[in-house]
Amino acid sequence: MVASLLIPSLVVLEVLSGLFLIVFVLLHSGKGGGLSDMFGGGAGLSGGTSVEKTLDRITVVTAFVFGICCFLLAWKWK
């Protein structure tokens, strides 16, 4: 029962994490753009705003979930 639900739930999680990863990467600031400039903040010498630091953490967690799902799907796919 659990094994029959594992693959479809991993596929859904993989697709969702991939879409969120695309969105979060596009929200990052490049050379003078991104989320902080959109809302009027700028990156000073402190390494960025707290919004940018939070966005970095969310992006890393989303990339980790995407990678683990990719590994598990490659391992369990029949």
Query: How many CB atoms lie under 10 A from the CB of residue 48?
Result: 19
Q: Does some domain include residue 2?
A: no
- Look up the domain containing 19 and give its range: 11-76
The pTM assigned to this predicted structure is 0.73
Q: What is the pLDDT along the chain (78 residues), one digit of tens a residue?
A: 666 788 899 999 999 999 999 999 998 877 665 555 566 555 554 556 888 889 999 999 999 999 999 999 998 877
Q: Domain tally for the chain?
A: 1
Tell me if 63 sits within 8 A of 21, measured CB to CB. Answer: yes
User: How many H-runs (helices) and E-runs (strands) does the chain carry?
Assistant: 3, 0
Q: Is 3 part of any domain? A: no
- CA gyration radius, the chain: 17
| Domain contains 30 | yes
Tell me, yes or no, whether 5 lies in a domain.
no
